[in-house]
Chains A and B, each alone.
Chain A
């Protein structure tokens, strides 16, 4: 059924869609900069973005809202791409890094690290997150197998592993009851503490990830082939898949390390993108990436206001949007299976 989606006729409005997405991105970024706990006028906003002025209001934008919004955008791009790649590799429309145990694995590794050695640096916790992400992914992969017909099996194995890993994380948190508050971050992701330092730490991974994706674009087309043709290419396919998994771990793992586990975004965006854009990878990949960034920035904007004036983690918003979407997907899948 993936194949069918990918072979959908390409929509004629590609250009318009991209234009619309760009406008949406700009609107969401600007509203994220403009509205927050402190009121800021349009004029100050303009000055601050143009890097003039150093009053409080200017500093809010330059040192807090701007890096935060950019981090949200970058993380959104990475998660959406990771989601798309997971779905391509597994040929499973229900797959996503979240379901692959990557989020829960990374969280568990970081929380374990925090308990074992007090005061991890950003880079150290990133490395731990990578190790955890890889572990979670391998676990689910080895449990569910990579047969194409195992869509549901993969999703369920992933959820079981996700529950297992996150219950272990909760256990560690319970037993260290005096540092509970700071560890909650690793159960629900959020971008509200992200500053320039976080963005700087994230960017190398983003750039590597994007370049690698572009370089591998022709190879990824192999993943769309029929099984019969694909088996002829055998080892080549295996190589592409393994590289793809590494890429997913790189993109999603670094995102979790900076922002904690943010679920469901990686599941929704590729689907929406595919429905709008059709299956042509050279168009689909950039569209998915941009849409991911746009969605996370908008979700972050919403998260500022559900308990105003206090902030709520953005992971809650993505789960609240993603849950119903997942139901819709599952029901559609079910309809087709019959």
Chain B
């Protein structure tokens, strides 16, 4: 029962945050106007609510769910609570191609950037598979290879940054992750991905449960571990790649949401996947909402806000898990 409650509370929190996000910002919208806009009646805030905040919120929710679900999958197949899309280098790969587009092809149309980011994530994955002997390495080693690939991409990003000092800000904004100016086209191009991938991720819960335990258990149950892990890895990369293409490389969500979820419902993935996804969406909305009102008229990018918000909690969680492990 507790599990149902926690899902319900997370969903309630999400609804509350959606309402708060719609209501607050540089231009506060009174509830009456908000309601009128949502009912498509004539209202002075119709543009802000329907064209600006709603798609932004939706993009945030979808990306939050995607990153968190990817985090859950990776932590299960790598069997390590510290794995995340950031740590295995996928977001860095996306960041590198995005920076290359920003700096080397400043005239490229706007839709090139997300496509490039997705390609970068795939490139990182290919490298990862190539260098980890198609995932036959032990999971931990696999994670470390990912770390190194991330570091190499990071070096590439830094080279681009240093060589093009005039546009550093644009690239840094993208790389820390920002929801600024995300419109319906962003939300709607992310939606089919998430509508497809999130249920698929959830259906895999039985395999995720087994993989978490170790190869021996899985083989005994007749699972072909190597192949299962490869499929799940692909799933995680697709989730990350599409999210990152929409909002930039927000890293921390994929690391911390699974932790919080595990603390509440334990390690069973039928509960873990949906709860972590909801918590990821909650976190990203909370970060964005605060980021928009802290230093009006400017914004703190959501990636920075989630890092600031999540950091103390993450450290507390890790310490707690360490004490338990003893």
Q: A94: CB under 8 A from chain B?
A: yes
Q: Which residues of A contact B173 (CB under 8 A)?
A: 174
Q: A70: CB under 8 A from chain B?
A: no
Q: B129: CB under 8 A from chain A?
A: no
Check A156 against B143 for contact (C-beta < 8 Å): yes
Check A320 against B144 for contact (C-beta < 8 Å): no
Q: Which residues of A contact B141 (CB under 8 A)?
A: 152, 330-331, 333-334, 337
Q: Which residues of B contact A310 (CB under 8 A)?
A: 163
Q: Which of A117-174 contact B (CB under 8 A)?
A: 139, 142-145, 152-153, 155-157, 159-160, 163-164, 167-168, 170-171, 173-174
Taking the nearest CB of chain A, how far is it from the CB of B165, in angstroms? 5
Taking the nearest CB of chain B, how far is it from the CB of A150, in angstroms? 9
Distance, CA A23 to CA B315, complexed state (A): 47
Q: Which residues of B contact A322 (CB under 8 A)?
A: 151
Check A327 against B131 for contact (C-beta < 8 Å): yes
Interface secondary structure of A, over-half rule: helix
Among B154, B165, B303, point to the contact of A180 (Cβ < 8 A): B165
Q: Which residues of B contact A312 (CB under 8 A)?
A: 159, 162-163
Q: Taking CB as reference atom, which chain A residue is nearest B295? A: A175
Q: Which residues of B contact A156 (CB under 8 A)?
A: 80, 82-83, 87, 143-144, 147
Q: Which residues of B contact A155 (CB under 8 A)?
A: 144, 147
Q: Which residues of A contact B143 (CB under 8 A)?
A: 152, 156
Q: A167-B303, A330-B144 are in contact. Are A153 and B82 (CB under 8 A)?
A: yes
Q: Which residues of B contact A175 (CB under 8 A)?
A: 295, 298, 300
Residue in A156, A184, A310, A312 with the greatest tally of chain B CB atoms within 10 Å:
A156
Among A153, A167, A181, A331, point to the contact of B145 (Cβ < 8 A): A331
Q: Which residues of A contact B103 (CB under 8 A)?
A: none
Q: Which of B153-170 contact A (CB under 8 A)?
A: 154-155, 158-159, 161-163, 165, 168-169
Taking the nearest CB of chain A, how far is it from the CB of B133, in angstroms? 8
Taking the nearest CB of chain B, how far is it from the CB of A291, in angstroms? 21
Q: A174-B176, A312-B163, A323-B149 are in contact. Are A160 and B138 (CB under 8 A)?
A: no
Q: Taking CB as reference atom, which chain A residue is nearest B86? A: A163
Q: A145-B322, A157-B82 are in contact. Are A171 and B301 (CB under 8 A)?
A: yes
Q: Which of B108-135 contact A (CB under 8 A)?
A: 131-132
Among B149, B163, B295, point to the contact of A307 (Cβ < 8 A): B163
Q: A160-B82, A333-B141 are in contact. Are A263 and B315 (CB under 8 A)?
A: no
Q: Taking CB as reference atom, which chain A residue is nearest B165? A: A181
Q: A315: CB under 8 A from chain B?
A: yes
- Partner-contacting stretch, out of B43-51, B182-190, B232-240, B306-314: B306-314
Q: Which of B57-90 contact A (CB under 8 A)?
A: 80, 82-84, 86-87
Check A319 against B137 for contact (C-beta < 8 Å): no
Q: B251: CB under 8 A from chain A?
A: yes
Q: B191: CB under 8 A from chain A?
A: no
Check B322 against A323 for contact (C-beta < 8 Å): no
Check A327 against B162 for contact (C-beta < 8 Å): no
Q: Taking CB as reference atom, which chain A residue is nearest B151? A: A323
Distance, CA A320 to CA B148, complexed state (A): 10
Distance, CA A168 to CA B252, complexed state (A): 11
Taking the nearest CB of chain A, how far is it from the CB of B156, in angstroms? 8
Q: Which of B184-241 contact A (CB under 8 A)?
A: none
Q: Taking CB as reference atom, which chain A residue is nearest B308? A: A168
Among B86, B154, B162, B251, point to the contact of A313 (Cβ < 8 A): B162
Distance, CA A175 to CA B173, complexed state (A): 10
Q: Taking CB as reference atom, which chain B residue is nearest A144? A: B322
Q: Which residues of B contact A100 (CB under 8 A)?
A: none
**14 more A-B contacts (CB under 8 A) besides A316-B158, A331-B131?**
A152-B140, A152-B144, A156-B80, A156-B144, A168-B307, A180-B169, A313-B162, A315-B158, A319-B151, A319-B155, A323-B151, A327-B131, A327-B144, A338-B138
